[in-house]
Amino acid sequence: MSTPSQYWNEPAETMSVDERAALQWAGLRRTIDHVWSNSPFYRRHLEAAGVAPGDIRSLEDLRRLPFLTKDHFRAEYPLGMLCVPREHLREMHMSSGSTGTPVVMAYTDADIDQWAECMARCYRMAGLRPGDTIQITPTFGLFNGGFGFYHGARKAGLFAIPASSGNTVRQVMLMRDFAVRGLMGVVSYAARIIEELDAKGLALPDLGIGIFGAESFSDAMRRRVEQRLNLRAFDIYGMTETGGVATTGMDCGARQGLHVWDDHYLTEVVDPVTGAPVPDGTLGEVVFTSLTREAMPVLRYRTSDLTRVVGRGRCACGRTTLRLDRIQGRCDDMLIVKGVNFFPKQVEQALMEIPGVLPEYQIVITETDGVCDIRVNVEAEEGVTGFVVEKHLKERLGFSPKGDVFKPGTLPRSEGKARRVFRRTA
């Protein structure tokens, strides 16, 4: 029996520069014609910017197209951005809507297959092979995570355990009883599983692979999860607006950036304020244009995610796709306290460097008359003091936040995506 390739789709994952440019140009032309002909929303959107399909004559003309934002999705809720007849739809997912009207993404059969293709590439890149057992811990519902992992598992020929979220005791039982090789979910839930193991003095056999998305996590958190769960952790990228988890890529074993699936998405990194392109290596906001989506394609969607281009050549893993740095934070997540700018991910990184500090923490921002104060509450083992935490945070962040050290298991928990930042008004 032949050994499966390290690639799921080698031609697409190892394209030359010329092959990629030709494929992306064809995809861009097809997508622009598709939305112009089939979406009243997109026709209004482009006409308002003074752009028609004939004005886009090369990939360089992409910048002539207007940006798309989350506000457009919300204004057109539920299906105002649809580009196919409604009877062609087979599935939908949406964001939580915790900060406003939900963002909806609808799928045709072809869109689901495209999603599964992207996910299958990620599985293969992580080292999973046909017949391997994976455990899917995100919720199966309106959130896209559970179904995205599942669609990809079916395409990749994996044995999927659709455990969904919660019931951590049962999750651990399933991992042991079914010799799970791959754990799928959010990294904060992996930390919750570690707590359950530690509380009962249990150890798991080597899982081997963990694929985590939906929330940004630090290198220190990644190392902690890897060591305790005996796995290699991969950072997967995707969002509702681009079609779900994995649609925009994942990092490989070489850890040289997030591989973007260039045959399905055009990627830009722009200045978050001006919208102008920034040079490779410069931090900016990532913008995606879908090239193969049918129901609800995106043209120049501003993600609010901050990253940089770290590579355009061949990676050590052999892939030639564009590589982005792991997401550093979001434009609207940057905190400014006492004149210091920082992101929650930097707080996590600093906390995880302190021996005895556990993965559960809160960043509490209190605003009084326009002035922000910050508290960092964290769980830690006996012997870790508030002074130790405050001193290390000052060394890493440049100021001393207030805060308290809590006993293990006392801060509020979430079975899904963790909430780390809390804003209050005094």
Domain segments of the chain: what residues?
1-331, 334-425
Bigger pLDDT: 30 or 203? 30
Element containing residue 87 per DSSP (H, E)? none
The reported pTM is: 0.84
CA torsion through residues 164, 170, 175, 177, sign: negative
Mean pLDDT over the full length of the chain = 90
How many Å apart are CA 381 and CA 385, to the nearest integer?
9
Beta bridge partners of 306: 285, 329
Residue pLDDT, tens place only, 97-132: 555 789 999 999 999 999 999 999 999 999 999 999
With bands split at pLDDT 50, 70 and 90, how would you rate the model's confidence at 2? low
- The reported pLDDT for the residue numbered 368 is 66
Q: Write the burial class of residue 283 (CB in 10 Å: 0-12 exposed, 13-18 middle, 19+ buried).
A: middle
In terms of residues, how long is the chain?
426
Residue pLDDT, tens place only, 266-318: 999 999 999 999 999 999 999 999 999 999 999 999 999 999 999 999 999 99
- The reported pLDDT for the residue numbered 217 is 81
- Do residues 307 and 280 lie in contact, with contact meaning Cβ atoms separated by under 8 Å? no
The closest of 362, 331, 350 to 424, measured between CA atoms, is 362
Bigger pLDDT: 81 or 196? 81
Report the CATH number of the 334-425 domain: 3.30.300.30
Specify the residue for token string 């079916």. 154
Greatest mean pLDDT range, 84-98, 125-139, 210-224, 402-416: 125-139
Q: Say if residue 194's pLDDT is above 60.
A: yes
Longest dimension (CA), the chain: 70
- The reported pLDDT for the residue numbered 21 is 97
Architecture label for domain 1-331: 3-Layer(aba) Sandwich (3.40)
How many Å apart are CA 354 and CA 370, to the nearest integer?
32
How many Å apart are CA 359 and CA 409, to the nearest integer?
11
Beta bridge partners of 337: 340
Residue pLDDT, tens place only, 203-248: 777 789 999 998 878 888 898 899 889 999 999 999 999 999 999 9
What tokens does 160 get?
């999927």
How many Å apart are CA 352 and CA 420, to the nearest integer?
14
What mean pLDDT do residues 150-172 have? Answer: 94
Q: Say if residue 176's pLDDT is above 70.
A: yes
Specify the residue for token string 């997401």. 327
- The reported pLDDT for the residue numbered 1 is 45
Out of 50-59, 104-113, 374-383, least confident range: 374-383
What tokens does 65 get?
């197209």
Q: b/e for 373-409, b at 16 or more Cβ within 10 A?
A: ebebbbbbeeebeeebbbeebeeebeeebebebbeee
- The reported pLDDT for the residue numbered 336 is 65
- The reported pLDDT for the residue numbered 97 is 54
- The reported pLDDT for the residue numbered 68 is 98
The Cβ-side half-sphere exposure at 398, using a 13 Å CA radius, reads 9
* Order of all β-strands in the sheet with 301-307: 265-270, 284-290, 301-307, 329-330
Q: What percent of the chain has pLDDT over 90?
A: 62
What mean pLDDT do residues 366-387 have? Answer: 79
Do the domains at 1-331 and 334-425 have one common CATH topology? Answer: no
